[in-house]
Structure 1
Amino acid sequence: KTALATFTHTMAFAAFTAGGFMVGVSGYLLAKKRHEEVLKPTLKLGLVTVLISFLLVGLTGDWSARVMTEQQPMKMAAAEALYNTESGAPFSLFTVGTLDGSRSVFQIGVPKFLSFMSTGNVNGTVEGINDLQAKYVEQYGPGNYKPNIPMAYWGFRLMIGFGAIAALFALLTLWNLRRKNEIPNKKWFAPAMIWMPFLPLLANSFGWIFTETARQPWTVFGLAKTADGVSPQVGVGALWITLIGYVALYGVLAAIEVKIMLRAIKLGPDEHVAYTEPAEVGGSSDKPLAMSY
């Protein structure tokens, strides 16, 4: 169940990112009045891909949230800054907590929506951070079982926020295309298209940041802590060398890839595609067509 929920959510997000890239490249060139005949269909395809995949991201995300609540309740509690167990818990739109991370001071939320998202029942019970901390101390022994609450809370919201902005841009652009059969003649269009490839990517990134930080202090929940995964045979120097090496390698590869992609984007599609008559390659236009393998 866990693998299927996370796999479908990841694949939906991958399609969302690909659609955003298509929209960004097509829209950028169209805003410059280039290759309109070729790029209008690709823009429409990208917009439809963004909207459909955004819907799938939401559906698979809802499924993943219920699995997460069942298997890693502290992660969901941290994502919502829910400090105490509640039935009919609200979904937080904005929360201010105390510096020691023990309770919320101010909150704006959607009533009962967190319970529905987590359990499928508007009056369902969602465990809070403080209650889970006490439960885990009793179950696993002394320790701090809370992740970084602000990072989890804002990572979750930035993931949703960047994705929603991309979907909104896509919806406005597609609506204008269907209504007027032309790209929006607005000042926001060109900047929006430049940002379109990055918005899904940012949403993806903050989603992964949330996923990997909100599970702390566990490597495998309930079985192995992150602190236990450190090898005593590997020194700090080796860790630094490995980290710097990976960052440098992937940084160089990223720079090369971005340079190649930008060059291809600026060139745009070929203005004219060469067409060779069949007779010129040894065939005859008089011969009937035949299937061949």
Structure 2
Amino acid sequence: MQKKIQTVQTLLDALPFIKDFRDEIFVIKYGGSAQIDTKLKEKFAKDILLMYLVGIKPVIVHGGGKRITSILDRLNIPTKFIDGQRVTTPEVMEIVEMVLSGDINKEIVSLLNNHGAKAIGISGKDAHFITAKPKDFEKFGYTGVIEKIDPSVVFNLLEENFVPVIAPIAASDELSHPGYNINADLCASKVAGALKAKKVIFLTDTPGVLDKEGNLISSLNEEKIEKLKKDQTISGGMIPKVDACIEAIERGVEKAHIIDGRVEHSILLEIFTSAGIGTQIVK
């Protein structure tokens, strides 16, 4: 009986958050182990379904860098990185689009649909939803920087009760252009800003932003982040994630969250409990 009462108490604790978040848009950047581990995939799908059923409007932006690299290696197509970003040659761009739009996107859509959510996959090329320009064509090739997002495409899907699943491929205004490969973190922050989302949540393979002793920092703002970058507490792959969070906040998103996707139901723990489990970035 005690266990049943505890279950009810957990539901009651989540009730204020469910009320506050109803009809709000949450953008979730789906990547890391949560996107690879079979068990974590199932937990992720159930988290999204629960959000969907209680009236939250989830929008998924996914990456797929590891699978792209694996297929490029199998096909003996050389790939290299500069400053952590992939150089996207025409041959690489073809594989990037095949993997992101054709393989991973459809896998996520199928996973969500099988669990009862009404998901639909799109990329930035669909209805020219996302358009971009080269980051530095001589250096990075078809790696792009987002210029414009048309939020009406996603709003229309949300209106029809779809869960949009977005592959980070952007269109170009040029005819017969292969499109642009976009960093998934930056794509998620731009999409969240364009949709005026309540939250943007980044699933990572770390507990969040850590201090020099390895302890979780539960809350940050832009000023604190700049200090931590200067003393190299925040470094490496965490820099683009916190930068994406700051950009989202500056574009009107209320809160950004960096959480550990390796923890089962990490999304629900972050948004439906007072303590949360990751780092939140606020204005």
User: 1 or 2, which has the higher strand percentage?
Assistant: 2
TM-score range, shorter chain: under 0.3
- Of structures 1 and 2, the larger Rg is shown by 1
